[in-house]
């Protein structure tokens, strides 16, 4: 995509500002064609960082997308459906699936309140069907599935994952809400999960 972006040529008399505005206009038009919006005033001369961000957005929107299941299948990785797993099979399939998702740049957080079967069922039902940009699977940041924080299951987060300072902060922010009692998480999985820095 990048080689299609109009830019001023050296010595053609265009100023850097004009060249950036032309690039911005082209990027805005392409993003609008895809149904996206760009929150940048038309008269503003964009910085190089603004333009790079818009190029990333355009690349993200135009890169083929596939579900995590489809992407892993193309890598030769398939997994038993949750209902078909015996306990012995689950002990093999769950760690294998977690490692495979990490190769797809999908990282998991706050799972210690879930049993192995509960987590495997969630991965099969929600994470494997989730559709992502294939191009983004090579990016350092990756995709993040938080199974308690981020508003997903606040009670589980407060009970099993939040530390004393986080619980106090939540109580101060929501004084009318009942703070669930702190409990020890029944599983010790999170510290063994692949992290994006390791990949």
* pLDDT tens for each residue of 35-49: 666 766 666 777 788
Q: Assess whether 98 and 180 both reside in one domain.
A: yes
Closest CA to 52 of 9, 32, 29, 23: 23
Q: Evaluate if residue 3 carries a pLDDT over 50.
A: no
pLDDT band at 2 (very low <50, low <70, confident <90, very high): very low
Long-range contacts of 83-91 (CB under 8 A, 24+ apart): 85/117, 85/120, 90/116, 90/117, 90/120, 91/116
Strand residue runs (E) in the chain: 65-67, 106-109, 131-133, 143-146
Q: Do 148 and 185 meet the contact criterion of CB atoms below 8 Å apart? A: no
Q: Evaluate if residue 106 carries a pLDDT over 80.
A: yes
How many whole angstroms separate alpha carbon 108 and alpha carbon 123?
Answer: 10
Collapsed DSSP state (helix, strand, coil) of residue 163? coil
Q: Assess whether 72 and 56 both reside in one domain.
A: no
Q: Global pTM? A: 0.70
Q: Assess whether 73 and 48 both reside in one domain.
A: no
Q: Assess whether 58 and 72 both reside in one domain.
A: no
Q: How is residue 35 annotated by DSSP? A: T
How many whole angstroms separate alpha carbon 43 and alpha carbon 5?
Answer: 19
Total of domains in the chain? 2
How many whole angstroms separate alpha carbon 134 and alpha carbon 125?
Answer: 20
* pLDDT tens for each residue of 126-166: 999 999 878 777 766 788 899 997 778 899 999 999 999 99
Q: Assess whether 173 and 156 both reside in one domain.
A: yes
40-44, 78-82, 107-111, 146-150: range with lowest mean pLDDT: 40-44
Q: Assess whether 105 and 127 both reside in one domain.
A: yes
Tell me which of 62, 80, 108 is where a domain ends: 62
* Pair type for strands 106-109 and 143-146: parallel
pLDDT at 156: 94
Tell me which of 62, 81, 102 is where a domain ends: 62
Tell me which of 14, 43, 62 is where a domain ends: 62
Residue 158 domain boundaries? 67-198
């Amino acid at each position: 995509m990048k080689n299609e972006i109009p830019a001023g040529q050296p010595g053609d008399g265009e100023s850097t500002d004009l060249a950036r505005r032309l690039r911005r206009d082209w990027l805005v038009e392409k993003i609008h064609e895809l149904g996206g919006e760009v929150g940048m005033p038309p008269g503003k001369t964009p910085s190089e960082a603004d333009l790079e961000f818009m190029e990333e957005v355009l690349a993200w929107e135009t890169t083929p997308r596939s579900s995590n299941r489809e992407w892993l299948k193309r890598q030769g990785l398939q997994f038993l459906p949750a209902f078909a797993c015996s306990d012995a099979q689950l002990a093999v399939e769950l760690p294998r699936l977690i490692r495979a998702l990490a190769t797809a740049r999908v990282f998991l957080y706050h799972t210690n309140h879930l049993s192995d079967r509960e987590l495997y069922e969630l991965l099969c039902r929600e994470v494997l069907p989730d559709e992502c940009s294939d191009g983004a699977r090579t990016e350092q940041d990756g995709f993040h599935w938080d199974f308690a924080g981020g508003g997903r299951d606040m009670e589980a987060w407060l009970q099993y994952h939040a530390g004393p300072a986080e619980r106090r902060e939540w109580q101060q922010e929501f004084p009318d809400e009942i703070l669930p009692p702190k409990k020890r998480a029944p599983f010790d999985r999170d510290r063994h999960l692949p992290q994006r820095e390791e990949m």
